[in-house]
Amino acid sequence: MVQGPNVRRTAVTLSDGRQLIYFDEVGGGQLHDRTLAVDQRPLTPSGSRSEMRRDVFHDEWITVAGHRQSRTHLPPAELCPICPSRPGHDTEIPASDYDVVVFENRFPSFASSPDERGPFGSGPFLHAPGVGRCEVIAFTSDHSAAFSSLSPRRVRTVIETWANRTAELSGCDDVEQVFCFENRGEEIGVTLSHPHGQVYGYPYVTPRTAQALRSAAAYEESVGRNLYADVLAAEQESGERVIVSGDHWTAFVPFAARWPMEVHLYLHRQVPDLPALQEAEREELAEVYLDVLRRMESIYDNTLPYIAGWHQAPVREFREHAYLHLEVFSLRRAPGRLKHLAGSESAMGAFVNDVSPEEMAQALRKA
């Protein structure tokens, strides 16, 4: 089990059979026995099943998950399903308080394993069961907090949690890639405002990862070096788009940024995934990531819709070419204005960015 020395992990089962795991911070006082708080709700297993369908033009799996239409949508704070349970309001978390908690999504894009994986069908109509795993991570029991307002100690606990989930889901037969991410802000469709992230265990290598790693493989074949390492070295040498740099991590706006605000955070050495991070790297990550998020949020009005995602090596394929890094981006292009993906981006995949990466990097350095 991957976990730091200062985190205690306790797994329990919700009333419909889903798994819930507490990650408690050790050292601040007496710890609760997490097995004592029992889910009082009479939930029946949702039996959610999703289906993957092959897009023969783009060689991609598209997942159809009709049951997600009924998922909880922006409930008022007093009905938040991610807050701790209290008398008269039983939530997804049976305990009355928590540090960080992970649970299986009741409305998952990918559900657990069936007997046969497929693909089934013929001609252009290939389909397969949507196997895999979708988890929710609550970063804090404080409903009104944000990731950027967490303490470095708490971010350190979240890093342990991400590493633990990556290691554990990587061990599932159905999972080919583990993606830890946070969607933040109603503007990008977040349906629950309580600070939380997600972990997807995909049953395939995702299209953008596969494409990037094919490029990295071709580059290594031709040049003999890792593409990500060379990009990091070039950004460090130029310095024009670097925002912050520590002993182990460097954050920069990429040269070919797709989004008006986009920051990539690279480790200074090539590792495949979060479990491979050493202690000092995890410690500095907590500080540097908070610094980056707070700079990004300060650019407009101290709120920012953003998507933050860890790019990790797939579980089986391409591992030797992958290079762990974080990509954070926002669709906000000006106060009150978003960069929407319209015809050029959505239909043709041709991105037009209205903001100069160098100007954004300068603003983020000064922030």
User: Binding to a second copy (CB under 8 A): which residues in 314-333?
Assistant: 327, 329, 333
Position among 26, 38, 79, 334 found at the interface with a second copy (CB under 8 A) = 334
Residue whose C-alpha is closest to residue 102's, from 89, 112, 92 = 92
Q: Does 198 bind a second copy (CB under 8 A)?
A: yes
Q: Within positions 225 to 244, which residues make up the interface with a second copy, using CB under 8 A? A: 227, 230-231, 234, 238
| Structure-block tokens of residue 298 | 């300060």
Q: Does 188 bind a second copy (CB under 8 A)?
A: yes
Provide the β-strand partners of residue 93: 84
Q: Within positions 282 to 311, which residues make up the interface with a second copy, using CB under 8 A? A: 307-309, 311
Phi-psi sector, 268: left (phi>0), alpha (psi -120 to 50), beta: alpha
| Structure-block tokens of residue 334 | 């000006």
Strand order in the sheet with 133-138: 7-13, 19-25, 100-104, 133-138, 196-202, 177-184, 306-311, 325-330, 261-267, 249-252, 242-245
Nearer Cβ to a second copy (258/269):
258
Least distance from C-beta 53 to a second copy, angstroms? 4
Q: Does 38 bind a second copy (CB under 8 A)?
A: no
Task: Give burial (CB, 10 Å; 0-12/13-18/19+) of 328.
Answer: buried
Give me the phi and psi of 34, to 5 degrees please.
Answer: -70, -15
Residue whose C-alpha is closest to residue 4's, from 26, 29, 19 = 26
Give residue for tokens 């995702």. Answer: 206
Q: How many residues bind a second copy (CB under 8 A)?
A: 81
Q: Does 222 bind a second copy (CB under 8 A)?
A: no
Q: How far apart are CA 51 and CA 108, in angstroms?
A: 12
Q: How far apart are CA 199 and CA 23, in angstroms?
A: 15
Position among 5, 76, 123, 335 found at the interface with a second copy (CB under 8 A) = 123
**Is residue 311 annotated as part of the catalytic site, yes or no?**
no
User: Which position among 67, 127, 196, 268 bears the catalytic label?
Assistant: 196
Q: Does 111 bind a second copy (CB under 8 A)?
A: no
Of 34-42, 47-55, 82-90, 138-146, the window that binds a second copy (rule: CB under 8 A) is 47-55
Q: How far apart are CA 76 and CA 150, in angstroms?
A: 22
Of 85-93, 145-153, 160-168, 250-258, the window that binds a second copy (rule: CB under 8 A) is 250-258
Position among 257, 292, 293, 296 found at the interface with a second copy (CB under 8 A) = 257
Least distance from C-beta 110 to a second copy, angstroms? 8
Q: Does 161 bind a second copy (CB under 8 A)?
A: no
Position among 23, 61, 139, 289 found at the interface with a second copy (CB under 8 A) = 61
Q: How far apart are CA 278 and CA 271, in angstroms?
A: 10
Position among 216, 243, 285, 292 found at the interface with a second copy (CB under 8 A) = 216
Least distance from C-beta 207 to a second copy, angstroms? 4
Site track 17-36 with a second copy (rule: CB under 8 A), x = hit: --------------------
Kindly list the catalytic residues.
196
